[in-house]
A and B are shown apart, each in its own frame.
Chain A
């Protein structure tokens, strides 16, 4: 390493360290941001974990008379109500249950003959509530197996040579369509937000800080257009870029997993039955719009504030990361999402879209999410216009 190289290194470091905003962006902001994000994520997960242990569920038992101990054990689990069923229901929704314990009809005969016995706990991995129920019942299954063994032993006078195959198993009975819906509900809201933020970032910085850096700003400031007209035009351009990014991204995803995967033998196991009707697509778009406007406006405001493309891109990257984090945190939201989460920008959109995709929309959630996002979008547009009208911000060096 030559002295010239070191001289260049020293100059660049000095240059960087004398830029207060760079110091904030590189050292202070990440130092505060990451612990804050981690703590928020830990808090949400803890809340979800607590909720998962207590939320009320109904478990159907078919043939409970054959194995009374099973109903007792299941009933003993906190938050679980047992529903005795005569026969297996066509689907969980009809019986209003989240899981189904199926005891074979001729259990006593099977045990007496020494035939294999299989008691099944059926659930749907593609349904959060159902899979959480299965997890909660998992320790009980061993107790049911013990009860079965005891029943077998009694039927043989407790002196049998070898016990029959007695199994108590969990079985995921989600259909491919349900799995597709589950994955879509989990992934699509996050991907839409990720793509909107990515699409908006570059255009926003280019349309604002880019004007400063390329020395074109004065030409539009001296034009007859008002500052508000200029900012709105820019927000709309950023919005168009972000929504285009989201639409093309989802199209690519649908082509990959919905069409290509089912035609390529090596990928067939990864193919999903993604059936999102036009009405749902419209709803997804409508719910995405306020969040996309909010993101576009905040990025334009940041662009107006930043002195250079580098500074603008640094700030925009943090907005992008925060959006991605909020989108991601929708993954870890449990069944009963607190109302206040529908007031958190970006996260509320992801949660509402999840409800849309799983046909569980609650009107209060929709009003809270769309209303608060729209309000924040309007506020951010006003902030962007104020910044763009402030000569101390536009011409600061």
Chain B
């Protein structure tokens, strides 16, 4: 479960002064649900998710992730989350097996259980040929499979995906979306940011449209007025964002 309450983030720039990146964002994401954060580049998606992953600290407001406050108990939060961003990369000089063992250890797993967990994920994630290969020699698709395996390796309750399909071809993107749906089936709490409308339509149970750091509209596809004969999510998104800004 993720409960976000009045979350704000302001960055300070010596020349530009205070720059609000996230303004008073609130939402709830329940277990067995995929919550989509839909917005343009620079809308505040990454900053929001970084705060939930305790990479950044909020300027105001707070959130509970898996029952723990992100400000008061960041270590407990991090123990229970898996975080994957489209921008993050892997260590080229490690093998697949070494990478999984590294992140398993960082997640606080019992090191004796790491080999068995690696074997357990080998089949479902198609890791057989990747485990003893250096990451630098892997294809983009291979790296993506390994990235996903890394995120779920310690079996986290909450998954935070920040534009995880960016830079992937259609097959890679499909693999990621299939994983997200699989995690949802398993009852995990999933938050997923994207600017690709079709992805959001396909996997999200609830969507929040974010623009300039504020959530403009939030609800299921039907509540947003998309799908089932009405306009597409893209139409809704454009209409909502256009009403708020002169930039489009």
Interface residues of A (CB under 8 A from B): 214-216, 218-226, 391-392, 395
With A224-B75, A224-B78 already in contact, the answer to whether A219 and B103 are too (CB < 8 A) is: yes
**B107 adjacent to A215 (CB under 8 Å):** no
Q: How far is the CB of B63 from chain A (nearest CB, A)?
A: 14
Known: A219-B150, A222-B78, A391-B56. A214 touches B106 (CB 8 A): no
* Complex CA–CA separation, A91 to B238 (angstroms): 95
A216, B57: Cα distance in complex, Å: 19
B89 to A, closest residue via Cβ: A215
**Chain A nearest CB: distance from B227 CB in Å?**
33
**A223: contacting residue among B90, B91, B106, CB under 8 A:** B106
Q: Is the CB of B81 within 8 A of A222?
A: yes
In terms of DSSP, what is the predominant structure of the interface of chain A? Answer: loop
A218 touches B88 (CB 8 A): yes
Interfacial chain A residues near B40, Cβ < 8 Å: none
> Chain B residues with Cβ under 8 A from A219's Cβ?
83, 88, 90, 103, 150
Listed by A's residue number, 10 A-B pairs whose Cβ atoms lie within 8 Å are: A216-B90, A218-B55, A218-B83, A218-B87, A219-B150, A222-B81, A223-B103, A223-B106, A226-B75, A392-B12
Residue of A nearest to B162 (CB): A218
Roughly how many angstroms separate A149 CA and B123 CA in the complex, as a whole number?
Answer: 101
Also in contact, A218 and B106, with CB within 8 A (given A223-B78, A391-B55, A391-B57): no
Minimal Cβ-Cβ distance residue in B for A217: B88
Find out whether the CB atom of A221 lies under 8 angstroms from the CB atom of B55.
Answer: yes
Complex Cα spacing A292 to B103, Å: 28
Query: Cβ of B12: which chain A residues have Cβ within 8 Å of it?
Result: 392
Indicate if the CB atoms of A224 and B106 lie closer than 8 Å.
yes
Given contacts A215-B88, A391-B56, 15 further A-B contacts (CB under 8 A): A215-B89, A216-B88, A216-B89, A218-B53, A218-B55, A218-B85, A219-B90, A221-B55, A222-B54, A222-B83, A223-B107, A224-B154, A225-B78, A225-B106, A395-B56
List A contacts of B85 (CB < 8 A): 218
In the complex the two chains form, what is the Cα distance from A41 to B195 in whole Å? 61
CB A59 to nearest CB in B, in angstroms, measures: 63
With the chains together, A226 CA to B45 CA distance in Å?
24
The answer to whether B89 and A224 have CB atoms under 8 Å apart is no
| Distance, CA A225 to CA B74, complexed state (A) | 10
Give the chain B neighbours of A223 by CB distance below 8 A.
78, 103, 106-107
Taking a contact as CB atoms under 8 Å apart, the answer to whether A215 and B55 are in contact is no
Instruction: Specify the chain B residue showing the minimal Cβ separation from A230.
Output: B106
Residue B108, interface by CB 8 Å: yes
Residue of B nearest to A219 (CB): B88
B42-84 CB contact bits vs A (8 Å, 1 = yes)?
A: 0000000010011111000000000000000001001101010
Within the complex, the shortest CB–CB distance from A387 to chain B, in Å, comes to: 15
Pick from A214, A226, A392: contact of B89, CB under 8 Å: A214
Which residues on A sit within 8 Å (CB–CB) of B50? 218
Please determine whether B91 and A216 come into contact, CB atoms closer than 8 angstroms: yes
Instruction: Please name all residues of chain A whose beta carbon is closer than 8 Å to the beta carbon of B57 when the two chains form the complex.
Output: 391
Query: When the two chains form their complex, are residues B88 and A224 in contact, meaning their CB atoms are under 8 A apart?
Result: no
Q: Which of B106-147 contact A (CB under 8 A)?
A: 106-108
**Minimal beta-carbon separation of B142 from chain A (angstroms):** 17
Taking a contact as CB atoms under 8 Å apart, the answer to whether A224 and B107 are in contact is: yes
Once bound together, how far apart are the Cα atoms of A222 and B54, in whole Å? 7
Contacts of B103 in A (CB 8 A): 219, 223
Contact A222 B53 (CB under 8 A): yes
**Beta-carbon contact of A215 and B106 below 8 Å:** no
The minimal Cβ–Cβ distance linking B109 to chain A, given in whole angstroms, is 9
- Of all chain A residues, which has the CB nearest B107? A224
Residues of B within 8 A of A222 (CB): 53-55, 78, 81, 83, 160
Complex: A215 Cα to B54 Cα, angstroms: 17
Q: How far is B83's CA from A138's CA once the two chains are assembled, in angstroms?
A: 76
Mask of B152-169 contacts with A, CB within 8 angstroms, 1/0 = 001000001000000000
